[in-house]
Amino acid sequence: SKEAVDHAKKEIEQILEELRNNSGAIIVSISLLETKEIKKIIGFKGKQIQAIQADTGAWLRVEEDNMVVIIEGSQEQTEAARSQVEDILKQYRSQPTYPKENLPLKRSERTALLAEAGKAIRHLKQSSGARVYIQDIPENDEEWTLTISGTPESIQKAKELLEETLNLAKDAHEKREAAKKAK
């Protein structure tokens, strides 16, 4: 139950606080610049942060609200963990960043892109080399956003293919509507 979880959290926090006060543990914090860095430190299903803890013996906690990584342990443990975290951040921060464009999508356009399990989006990605994805689903079902990122050339190619795909979908829709009216 929620009460049991809250109670367990309080007990664990109390035990950890006592250990910190009695162990002479060193606490180090590393600031994060953006939320994507949180995912890099934690890793898929927590595997990255678990590996750092297992490798160094330090205890790590990522505070998303404060955008900080907290490392606790002995001097040697915290230095080793800090080095690993800083290496991950350095590698992530040195990756080239590509421009991105956000394009509004109408309901019919979204439907065309997601038809047949997203076949059109996969085609855009594969043919252009750009990253193409639909932003988080908004509360208002009418205003979706398609994001295209990559090199300027790949973005341009993706936009051309997008226009072509949407025109084909529009033509097919108009033919279906005309056929319905003819009946």
Q: Rounded to an integer, what is the distance from CA 71 to the centroid of its chain?
A: 23
With contact defined as beta carbons under 8 Å apart, do 130 and 169 qualify? no
Within the chain, residue ranges assigned H as helices are 2-23, 35-42, 47-56, 75-94, 107-128, 152-182
Query: Is the separation of the CB atoms in 99 and 155 below 8 Å?
Result: yes
Mean pLDDT of the chain: 83
Closest CA to 143 of 135, 133, 151: 135
Q: CA 20 to CA 22: how far, in whole Å?
A: 6
Model confidence at 22, pLDDT cuts 50, 70, 90, reads: low
Q: Is residue 154 pLDDT above 70, yes or no?
A: yes
β-pair partners for 100? 149
Query: What is residue 171's predicted lDDT score, i.e. its pLDDT?
Result: 85
Residue 108 sits at the vertex; the CA angle it makes with 103 and 111, to the nearest 5 degrees, is: 90
- The pLDDT score that the predictor gives to residue 56 is 93
Residue 145 in tokens: 């956003």
Confidence of residue 41 (pLDDT cuts 50, 70, 90): very high
Structure confidence by residue, pLDDT tens digits, 1-17: 888 888 888 887 776 67
- Residue pair 52/83 in contact (Cβ under 8 Å)? The answer is no
What pLDDT digit, counting tens, does each position of 86-131 carry?
999 998 888 777 778 888 887 777 777 777 657 788 888 888 888 8
